[in-house]
Amino acid sequence: MKFKIQREVFLQPLIQVVGVVERRQTLPVLANFLLVAKDGTLSLTGTDMEVELVSTVSADVETEGEITVPARKLVDIVKALPDGATISLSVSDDRATLQAGRSRYILSTLPAADFPATDDVASVQDVSLPEFELKTLLDRTSFAMANQDVRYYLNGLLLDFKGGRIRTVATDGHRLAVCDYDGDVPVEGDRQVIVPRKGVLELARMLSDSKENVVLSLGRNHVRLVNGNTRFTSKLIDGRFPDYEMVIPAGADKQIKVDRGVFMQALQRASILSNEKYRGVRIEASDNSVKILAHNPQHEEAVEVIEAEMNFDSLAVGFNVNYLLDALTALTSEDVSMELKDANSSCLVAAPESDLNRHVVMPLKL
């Protein structure tokens, strides 16, 4: 195999795909990219057996072939080469030689036959929606996914298709994020699929703010999306997501309305002196003002007071400040409302005029 390619053209797909390659692998070949040079194109594939990314670019292919090379070493070398360099990569025996100007690098290889192939995704259903809308759905909920939770079905994001509606849901057991797509999508029947955490993060990374439609192909065990020259494929988590609608507070009669930006800044300042382990802050609401208090084992204390609108006399409740800030960051409205029943009930954080994006945060006993 031998091909030539401009550094900038080569670097773009390398950076796109390398995120899926784990630093620690059970199989040595999973630390490698699969390079396939054929018909004037070069395709790069990275996988961790759960998520696969394939990116294709044009190249001057002199000799067709396929091989696997160390992924992160290749990325680091190409990054370090000067702008405008022409890269030549050739394979002989079990070595790959990369040349650019007077620089030469020899890399070890493993046979392409050892690289795991992803099963063909037989699409059960194709869902089309604007690219920026899909990115928004992921960005406004993915932060609430669990990470290495024993309840494996929480280590991912739920795509809930129901009645022509698309909804994304994520929870780690302490908080919940829900976001609806405000548009009609011709989805046949109702279906729920759970995309694993890494797949969600890689998918969100490859999406842009384009208004062009993208097609999400749902298979029985996989989800796939082709965007430009990049193809994303992820296995689905085989499990049952909890009944999240039961967690969303209903009938909460106490409401606090505050300026989102002012509230976030006050929380960020108070968090500096919060307990590093529990990250707790106390919210005291009364007389149309909210007092935010934080303290730590060193007996340091922070107090912030902001204006608010409320429909009750007084209430004091504790929260993990990071969970509140994540929820507020995901919202885009100027004001936000916090709805709850009492100091021991979960709190619903949302925009006052819209319920498309809702966040539930459990209270923290301080």
pLDDT of the residue at 123: 79
Q: How many residues does the chain have?
A: 366
> Which CATH number fits the domain 125-246, given the four candidates 3.30.470.20, 3.40.50.300, 3.10.150.10, 3.40.50.920?
3.10.150.10
pLDDT of the residue at 188: 76
Q: Please indicate whether the domains covering 2-114 and 254-361 agree at the CATH topology level.
A: yes
With a cut of 50, list the residues of the chain below it in pLDDT. none
Give the DSSP H or E segment for 266: helix 260-271
Phi-psi region of 14 (alpha: psi -120 to 50; beta: other; left: phi over 0): alpha
Contact 17, 100 (CB under 8 A): no
CA distance 267 to 258: 12
Q: Is the domain covering 254-361 a CATH 3.40.30.10 domain?
A: no
CA distance 93 to 116: 21
pTM (two decimals): 0.93
CA distance 330 to 179: 10
Specify the fold of 2-114: DNA Polymerase III; Chain A, domain 2 (3.10.150)
The residue extents of the domains of the chain are 2-114, 125-246, 254-361
pLDDT digits (tens, 9 = 90+) for 36-45: 999 999 999 9
pLDDT of the residue at 92: 93
pLDDT of the residue at 55: 97
Comparing CA positions, the residue from 186, 148, 194, 188 lying closest to residue 168 is 194
Q: Radius of gyration (Cα) for the chain, nearest Å?
A: 25
DSSP-assigned letters across all residues of 268-317: HHHHTTS-TTT-EEEEEEETTEEEEEEE-TT--EEEEEEE-EESSSEEEE
pLDDT digits (tens, 9 = 90+) for 122-176: 778 899 999 999 999 999 999 999 999 999 999 999 999 988 889 999 999 999 9
Which residues partner with 75 through β-bridges? none
pLDDT of the residue at 43: 97
